[in-house]
Chains A and B, each alone.
Chain A
Amino acid sequence: MALIEVHNLRKEFKKLVPKTGFLSGIRNLWNTDYTSHVAVDDISFKIEEGELLGYIGPNGAGKSTSIKMMTGILVPTAGEISIAGMTPWKQRREHAQNIGVVFGQKTQLWWDIPPIESYRVLKTIYKIPDSVYEKNLNTFRDLLELHEFENTPVRQLSLGQRMRADLAAAMLHDPRILFLDEPTIGVDVLAKERLREFIKEINRTRGVTILLTTHDMADIEKLCHRMSIIDDGKLLYDGSIHDLKSRYGTERTLVIELDDAPYALHIPNTRVLREEGSRVWIAFDKEKLSASDVMMKVAEKHTIRDLTVEEPEIESIVREIYQSGLDRKKEDGHVAVLDV
């Protein structure tokens, strides 16, 4: 049995439909129109102990809602979750001992006091033994350089420091699973790098299972072996990053630097993306052509001075997947109209 098992998870809630148009402001005073909104729609997956999973999707896709269900904050409308053999919302307290949670948007530390004081409170709440507390605190002092700011009120910390302090807070009680909801949001490049190092480190040395949501694909590429893409409440992709690239990213770009200005580069099955001086970007599908095919065609007419092949960024692949999800939605709509 996997550490985390999610079966047919579903969550819906009601939303008020605001009136628009003539005198909308006044008519809203007695508005009672609600629609049911499906935030998470029949999602299933498993996560093994020690995995580091990237969980991505656009805003409002259902990421946070599913994390809230896995952390025991919300109860699903339907479906099951079993984490370390427990149902989060039924055995909320025992489950809470097992997990650590960081919401990037909202610190769990007391705003006006130094992190070290917050840690003392958490020590009591999680009933952390003195020895474990001291040991962990010392580890994090090294890893996250907590000592720099552990005595400064949180409101005076930079976002990067605050996030480090939050990560330490979530790890104090040795959780088996860590939920990180956008832990790198708004953090500068250097601080991001440091956070990633720490996340990688605790995953590797402590075997902590980590579920990470982010909008920064660099986080995913540098940290995760596996990713799940969710949009509109549905799971669009679940698998390794390598597979994602080979399945969806078959387009390559050849960047060629020529001796002279490019002309007559009409090679079948390719597209010229951009020209700039003597440099040209040519896109091709690697299933249909090889880079050397393209290169030879170009070499027939030009002298090539330099060239590189660019792999697609994971970001553009993901964008494509969202897009195709969107297209499918449109098609569904079309079918529904035909049925009528």
Chain B
Amino acid sequence: MSLFWTFSRQHFYKQSAYRLNFWLEMGGMFLQLYVVATLWNVLFTQTPTGFGSATLTQMITYAVLGILLGAVLSVDEGVHSYLQGQVRMGLITTDLMKPVDFLLHMLARDFGATVVRLSFYLLPPLVFAYLLFDLVLPVDAVQVVYFLIAVFQAWVILFFCNFLFGLISFKTLDLLGFIFTYYALIRFASGQIIPLWMYPDWMQPFLYALPFQSIFYTPIGLFTGVISGGQATTALWTQTAWMIGLFVAARFIWARIHRHLVVQGG
């Protein structure tokens, strides 16, 4: 556990070292918020029935959460970019020599970065956003707890997705081409910006079958109340299933790559 806090502290210092960056990123996030809020407002004025059963306030809350969580659960600063960097510089062997389980080490490193982003990018801007926009908040403690569990599980799922994706760099040394594909997939299929029910009917089964909806759609849906009742527990259990499935896959594939690395001598 101490490993986890060590990395958190490191990331905290790194983060606070770049003060200008922080304020600019904040500004950028509020610009995004404003743009999506305007988008929903315009569309709502045009076709008030377009959101189905969701209200405009719910949609705007959805957008706020989507953008803030997008900054916390980062798709471009994850473990895959670390792996790629280490592989490219030939430094991965130093990580392998550390007396810690590699997957755990990576998880701790990512945990550190995420905790810091969480403390900088989730709560403070959420308070601001609440003052600026009309938001729906969770109605009871259960909903808050569900949301927090969902965020945690979403982080683990994203971590394993990033990790599995990052393993490609052991084969190719470079992720550039793949990374765009990966971004596009997550942006499109996770429900971060557009809630899944707004997609065409024929597309929805595919989206629900992918792990990406567990990363953004589930926590945001729980917070805004668009996922509730029996659906809520199902969504959480689906996340858990993905966590386990991806964990097993990551372990298995990593074991094979590791063996290969040891045989080849890095």
Q: Which residues of A contact B (CB under 8 A)?
A: 24-26, 28-31
Give B residues with C-beta under 8 Å from A. Answer: 12-13, 15-17, 19, 22-23
16 A-B pairs with C-beta separation under 8 A: A24-B16, A25-B12, A25-B13, A25-B15, A25-B16, A25-B17, A26-B16, A28-B16, A28-B17, A28-B19, A29-B16, A29-B19, A29-B22, A29-B23, A30-B19, A31-B19
With both chains docked as a complex, state the minimum distance between the C-beta of A18 and any C-beta of chain B, in angstroms.
Answer: 8
What secondary structure prevails in chain A residues at the interface with B? Answer: helix
Q: Nearest 7 pairs between A and B by C-beta?
A: A25-B16, A29-B19, A28-B16, A28-B19, A25-B12, A25-B13, A29-B22
Give the one of A26, A28, A29 with max B CB within 10 A: A29
Q: Shortest beta-carbon distance, B44 to chain A, in Å?
A: 37
CA distance A24 to B15 in the complex (A): 12
From residue B11, how far is it (CB to closest CB) to chain A in Å?
Answer: 11
CA–CA, A186 and B22, complex, Å: 37
Secondary structure dominating the interface of B: helix
Contact partners of A25 in chain B: CB under 8 A: 12-13, 15-17
**Residues from chain A with Cβ under 8 Å of B15 in the complex:** 25
B contact residues around A28 at 8 Å (CB): 16-17, 19
In the complex, A30→B16 CA distance in Å? 10
Report how far A107 CA is from B19 CA in the complex, Å: 32
- Most A CB within 10 A of own CB, among B15, B19, B23: B19
**Can you name 13 extra interface pairs (CB under 8 A) apart from A25-B16, A28-B16, A28-B17?**
A24-B16, A25-B12, A25-B13, A25-B15, A25-B17, A26-B16, A28-B19, A29-B16, A29-B19, A29-B22, A29-B23, A30-B19, A31-B19
Q: How many A-B pairs with Cβ below 8 Å? A: 16
Considering the chains assembled together, what is the distance between the CA atoms of A29 and B25 in angstroms?
13
List A contacts of B13 (CB < 8 A).
25
**Assembly CA distance A31 to B23 (angstroms):** 13
Could you tell me the distance between the alpha carbons of A26 and B13 in the complex, rounded to whole angstroms?
Answer: 9
Give the CA-CA distance A24 to B12 in the complex, in Å. Answer: 11
**Nearest CB of chain B from residue A248's CB, rounded to whole Å:** 42
Min Cβ gap B16→A in Å is: 3
Task: With CB as the reference atom, state the residue of chain A lying closest to B15.
Answer: A25
CB distance from A20 to the nearest CB of B (A): 12
Chain A residues near B19: list those with CB within 8 A. 28-31
B22 / chain A contacts, CB cutoff of 8 Å: 29
- Please name the residue on chain B nearest to A23 by beta carbon: B16
- In this complex, the member of A24, A25, A28, A31 whose beta carbon has the largest number of chain B beta carbons within 10 angstroms is A25
A80 to chain B, nearest CB (A): 36
**Cβ–Cβ < 8 Å partners of B16 in chain A:** 24-26, 28-29
Contacting residues, chain B, for A31 (C-beta < 8 A): 19
Nearest CB in chain A to that of B116: its residue? A25
Chain B residues, CB < 8 A from A26? 16
- Least Cβ distance of B216 to chain A in Å? 28
Q: Chain A nearest CB: distance from B251 CB in Å?
A: 35
Question: A24 CA to B23 CA in the complex, in Å?
Answer: 17
The complex places the Cα of A29 from the Cα of B16 at a distance, in Å, of: 6
Q: Which residue of A lies closest to B9 (CB)?
A: A25
Least CB separation from A25: chain B residue: B16
B121 vs chain A, min Cβ distance (A) = 14
**What residues of B have a CB within 8 angstroms of the CB of A24 in the complex?**
16
List A contacts of B12 (CB < 8 A): 25
Measured CB to CB, the closest approach of chain B to A237, in angstroms, equals 38
Measured CA separation A28–B15 after assembly (Å): 10
Q: Residue on A with the closest CB to B16?
A: A25
Report chain A residues within 8 Å CB of B17.
25, 28
Name A24's closest neighbour in chain B (CB-CB). B16
Q: Give the shortest distance, in Å, between A29 (CB) and chain B (any CB).
A: 4
The CA-CA distance from A25 to B19 in the complex, in Å, is 9
